[in-house]
Amino acid sequence: MSTSETTESRSRGKAPAGERVADWADGRLGIYSLAKANMRKIFPDHWSFMLGEVCLYSFIIIILTGVYLTLFFHPSMNEVEYHGSYVPLQGQLMSEAFSSTLHISFDVRGGLLIRQIHHWAALIFLAGMFVHMMRVFFTGAFRKPREINWLFGFLLFVLGMFTGFTGYSLPDDLLSGTGVRFTEGAILSMPIVGTYISFFLFGGEFPGVDFVARFYSIHILLLPGIMLGLVVAHLILVFYHKHTQFAGPGKTNKNVVGMPLLPVYMAKAGGFFFLVFGVIAVIAAIAQINPVWAIGPYRPDMVSTGAQPDWYMGFAEGLVRYMPGWEINLWGHTLVLGVFIPLVLFGVVLAAIAVYPFIESWVTGDKREHHILDRPRNAPTRTAFGVAWITVYMVGLVGGGNDLWATHFHLSINAVTWFVRISFFAGPVLAFIITKRICLGLQRRDKDKVLHGRESGIIKRLPHGEFIEIHEPLSQDAMYTLTAHEQYKPAEIGPTVDENGVERKVKASEKLRAKLSKSYYGPDSQIPKPTVDEYKEITSGHGHH
Amino acid sequence: MSSQDIPEEKSPAEQGAHVAVADEKHPFADPGLPPHEHRIQDVDERAARRSERTVALLFTVSMLATVGFIASYVAIPHDKSIFVFPIGHLNALNFALGLTLGLALFSIGAGAVHWARTLMSDVEVADERHPIAAEPDVKAKVMADFKQGAKESALGRRKLIRNTMFGALALFPLSGVVLLRDLGPLPGTKLRHTLWSKGKLLVNMNTNEPLRPEDVAVGSLTFAKPEGLEEDDHEFQNEIAKAALMIIRLQPDDIKDKQELDWSYQGIVAYSKICTHVGCPISLYEQQTHHALCPCHQSTFDLSDGAKVIFGPAGHPLPQLRIGVNDEGYLEALGDFTEPVGPAFWERG
């Protein structure tokens, strides 16, 4: 016993300092087992996999800069007279929140930079999440086993929107105050509980003296706290599931091909954090954002033209702008449909994309794990649905800026609004049809390429004068990649009589599923993959093509 | 850079399949991982050294940029403005700090990425995946454990414990809900009343002087507040959010709405400035058409016709304030608004 201890301690004494520290930590945290699984973990490479990283890094940047801003910001609506170094507002009455924002912008050296980095990073964070979500959607990366991680990501997007909203409302400037007023109006439209929620949120009538302090704790503690938890869970699941990959030679549903975390992705991903931070810092150096001093402090009886929320709220703004002003008065009560329907639609549109993975897995009935990404063309109905959804979102954005479209393009505001109203219904339908057709066209082209080879650009004249283009056969790599995807068969309604010959009732859900499945995987929704027989027939008949 | 620690390298025979022409029998079969292609840095030590120098240069630039950041912080006064083509006038300190910080960070990132791309091994390796779901025997063990635990707790057998526990756990969060009650007062009828009452003078928002009919010109738009409400009042924001008024003068013949005419004075009409959509202050007025437009969501009201909504998302007309003139010739209110101003709500009716 004693001898083994001495040998151990002696060998420990010889070990390098780093190893001794690691030993110490391992004895308490078990880090070696953790590192064994993760240090050389393989990550596949594709440019689109970096979109999620942009989100992660901008989130970290937001937290870092946000902590700095809390050192100087006063979340208070007490009225003060301004006596800072911004001359045009000298002597003006404003809330402490507004005046401390001016203080950060004009009197704290570097304060403006950090404020602008914070705001730019927030815009990029939301944009990054949107694009990342679309990447995951269109490649089918949300399929089993990743549905829960899709929901985590979705929640991050929604919470990010509200964190952004509560954040840009804090300076209590004329623009953000108008946004808060809009929120109050939207809350008031809720049947039965609207006025109560409004009075509880604002501590009485709008604007009151409470909402900045309340938004502050929501913005810096409650929402980011939840989001931090979700980000960690999201990343743990990414590690646990291992990253998805596109089909290609050597890449199967049972492996993951790429390069190890240490050193390649440590350097690439770690370096990418600095790239994102660096780019945002440069943007903040040259591009002004939210100049609250030019907008002025909030007054409920004042507003400027061209009032716009930050981009991620533009879709909600649009819904409210193009909705007709329906109001129903019955039995002494008012149902404010003109505002309440947009409020509900806002949730419904977002929920539609959130629950999509579950709908698709119900339609396919596929319970297997999927780690190979789809090319969007190979899932035409899904892709078409996604594009239709984006169309609704973009129509909302256009509607949210209808005044800017009108003034910048010299259009009538009424015409823009009517265009948006019609597009809200027609746009997604058109987008769906067009996208599906494009997908099928691309599938046909893939099939053609596999069977007939690639256009080489070389024109050959045959002895009898005919010109043909020489097609070069694809490599086996390329042919495998183009034919690796699976094609589902549409689900049929089972036999309508049971084993005893008694007619059984076909449930409505079963019929719906069969119908959906047909629209997903029926003959009109996918081009059959080229088969080996087709290929052999074409390539064996020489001079056939 | 060596490939000794690659767990699953394909055998040369398998790799050969990729180079050769398509497998005659299975032309679409997976040819396996393609062989690694060497970068110039893998074969040419001089190229590798060049990469090394580039990375080191980038890291050095970062160090210099940080020095530049600190120097800018110390040297540049915070109110200095500079002209930068083509952006325009910028705050010099913000520009210098942002640029140096950006450069310092970007160079670290660029250096690290260049290092990874040119000097670290770029051999693609395959890792196996394992199903996420547990093997049947693991599941069986967990289910057995759970049954054992549940049995030992006797939760299913001792229903009294179970039911009272659920009751206690369901009730206690109510305390938290109750605590939220004092977040704000109940709405009551607060949304129905404003500061306006009979005899209150209409005070010009800009000049802070009571308005006379002759102060209001045809075609102009004047904003007014009730007398006695001053900007430094504690309740100013809450009161002006409801009481803000928009005053215009029309030719009495142009007024199409009977009540509007009755409630006006010599063609002067007073409407709530707060939009009935979601409460933005309406501030655009087109004198030719007598239309008022809310700049937030473009609800348009016809002020010559009872402020009816003629376009946009608002659901009902702007409330009108009945006005007259007092003995001294000043415009005064003849009462409060008869309906709530601002956005509609459930109890509005």
B residues 246-275 near A, CB within 8 Å? 273-274
Please check whether residue B17 lies inside any domain of the structure.
no
Check whether residue B217 and residue B90 sit in a common domain: no
**Contact criterion met (CB below 8 Å) for B273 and A282:** no
In terms of domains, do B326 and B220 share one? yes
How big is the A-B interface in CB pairs under 8 Å?
363
Q: Does one domain contain both B206 and B316?
A: yes
| Number of structural domains chain B divides into | 2
**Residue B101 is assigned to a structural domain of this protein:** yes
Which of A15-19, A480-484, B67-71: highest mean pLDDT? B67-71
Ranking A201-215, B16-30, B60-74 by mean pLDDT, the lowest is B16-30
pLDDT over 60 at A450, yes or no: yes
Strands, E assignment, chain B: 81-84, 88-91, 125-128, 202-204, 221-226, 245-249, 268-272, 284-286, 291-293, 300-302, 308-311, 320-321, 323-325, 331-333
Each residue of B106-142: pLDDT tens digit? 999 999 999 999 999 999 999 999 999 999 999 999 9
Q: Is A224 exposed, middle or buried (0-12, 13-18, 19+ CB in 10 A)?
A: buried
Residues B225 and B327 in one domain: yes
B225 with B322, same domain: the answer is: yes
Instruction: Mark whether B87 and B202 lie in a shared domain.
Output: no
Those of residues 109-148 in A touching chain B at CB distance below 8 A are 109-110, 112-113, 116-117, 145
Contact A262, A493 (CB under 8 A): no
More confident residue, B100 or A508: B100
Q: Is the pLDDT of residue B21 over 60?
A: no
Convert the pLDDT of each residue in B242-282 to its tens digit: 999 999 998 888 889 989 999 999 899 999 999 999 999 99
| Residue closest to A243 by CA, chosen among A527, A513, A19, A42 | A42
pLDDT at A395 (0 to 100) = 93
Q: Which residue of B has its CA nearest to A277?
A: B105
CA distance A507 to chain B (A): 30
Is residue A492 within a helix (H) or strand (E), and if so which, with residue range?
none
Look at residues B118, B152, B172 and tell me which one is the last residue of a structural domain.
Answer: B118
3-state secondary structure of B268: strand
Which residue in A79, A476, A533, A534 has the most chain B C-beta atoms within 10 A of its own C-beta, making it the best mutation to test that interface? A476
Confidence of residue A13 (pLDDT cuts 50, 70, 90): low
Higher pLDDT, B18 or A459: A459
Is residue B329 domain-shared with residue B206, that is, in the same domain? yes
Give residue B7's pLDDT band: very low, low, confident or very high (50, 70, 90): very low
Which CATH number covers residue B220?
A: 2.102.10.10
Residue B6 confidence class, pLDDT cut points 50, 70, 90: very low
Q: Does B142 map to a domain? A: no
| B215 shares its domain with B314 | yes
Residue B89 lies in a domain: yes
**Sign of torsion over alpha carbons B102, A231, B134, A354:** negative
Domain closes at, from B92, B118, B144: B118
Give A-chain residues touching B128 at CB under 8 angstroms.
Answer: 254-255
A300, B95: Cβ pair inside 8 Å?
A: no
Give the model's confidence band at B18: pLDDT under 50 very low, under 70 low, under 90 confident, else very high.
very low
**Interface residue B184 vs chain A (CB under 8 A):** yes
Spell out which residues of chain A touch residue B184, defining contact as CB-CB under 8 Å.
199-204, 208, 210
Q: What is the mean pLDDT of residues B300-312?
A: 92
A172-219 pLDDT, tens digit per residue, is 999 999 999 999 999 999 999 999 999 999 999 999 999 999 999 999
Which residue in A258, A282, A530 is closest to B124 by CB distance?
Answer: A258
Is pLDDT above 80 for A24? yes
Whether residue B268 lies inside any domain: the answer is yes
Chain B residue numbers with beta carbons less than 8 Å from the beta carbon of A41 are: 127
Encode burial over A183-205: b for 16+ CB neighbours within 10 A, e otherwise. Answer: bbbbbbbbeeebbbbbbbbbbbb
**Per-residue pLDDT at B232:** 87
Percent of chain B with pLDDT over 70: 93
Written in H, E and C, the secondary structure of A27-43 is: HHHCHHHHHHHHCCCEE
- Domain with B111 in it: 36-118
Has residue B12 got a pLDDT over 80?
Answer: no
The backbone torsions φ and ψ at residue B16, rounded to the nearest 5 degrees and listed phi first, read -60, -35
Domains parsed from chain A with CATH numbers: 2-38 (no CATH), 42-310 (1.20.810.10), 453-494+505-540 (no CATH)
Q: What is the mean pLDDT of chain A?
A: 92
Is the Cβ of A72 closer than 8 Å to some Cβ of chain B? Answer: no
Contact A257 B126 (CB under 8 A): yes
Query: Which pLDDT band, with edges at 50, 70 and 90, does A545 fall under?
Result: very low
B284, closest residue in chain A (CA to CA): A305
Q: Same domain for B198 and B111? A: no
Contact B93 A326 (CB under 8 A): no
Task: Please identify, among B118, B134, B152, the residue that sits at the C-terminal boundary of a domain.
Answer: B118
* pLDDT tens sequence across A417-440: 999 999 999 999 999 999 999 999
- Residue A413 clears pLDDT 90, i.e. is over it: no
- % of chain A exceeding 70 in pLDDT: 97
Alpha carbons A327 and A73: distance in angstroms, whole number: 41
pLDDT of residue A541: 62
Residue of A188, A237, A417 best to disrupt the B interface, most CBs of B under 10 A: A188
Which residues are within 8 A (CB) of A23 and not within 5 positions of it... i.e. 6 or more apart? A12, A15
Structure tokens that stand for A318 in this block:
């649009």
A109/B314 CB distance under 8 A: no
Nearest 5°: the CA angle B201, B205, B206 is 130
Please tell me the predicted confidence (pLDDT) of residue B8: 41
B206 and B311 share one domain: yes
B-chain residues near A189 (CB < 8 A): 278, 343-345
Task: Report yes or no: A76 and A172 within 8 Å, Cβ to Cβ.
Answer: no
Classify residue B151: in a domain, yes or no: no
Residue A542: predicted pLDDT: 54
- The mean pLDDT of A265-278, rounded to a whole number, is 96
In a domain, B152, yes or no: no
What pLDDT is stored for residue A3 in this prediction? 46
A101 pLDDT more than 50: yes
DSSP A169-204: TTT-BHHHHHHHHHHHHHHHTSTTTHHHHHHHHHTS
Q: What integer is the mean pLDDT of A268-292? A: 96
Q: What pLDDT does residue A524 have?
A: 87
Q: Residue B261 and residue B250: Cα distance in Å, rounded?
A: 10
Give the closest-approach CA distance of B89 to chain A in angstroms: 10
If you average pLDDT over residues B142-150, what whole number do you get? 95
Strands B320-321 and B308-311, by their bridges, are: unpaired
- pLDDT tens column, A152-162: 999 999 999 99
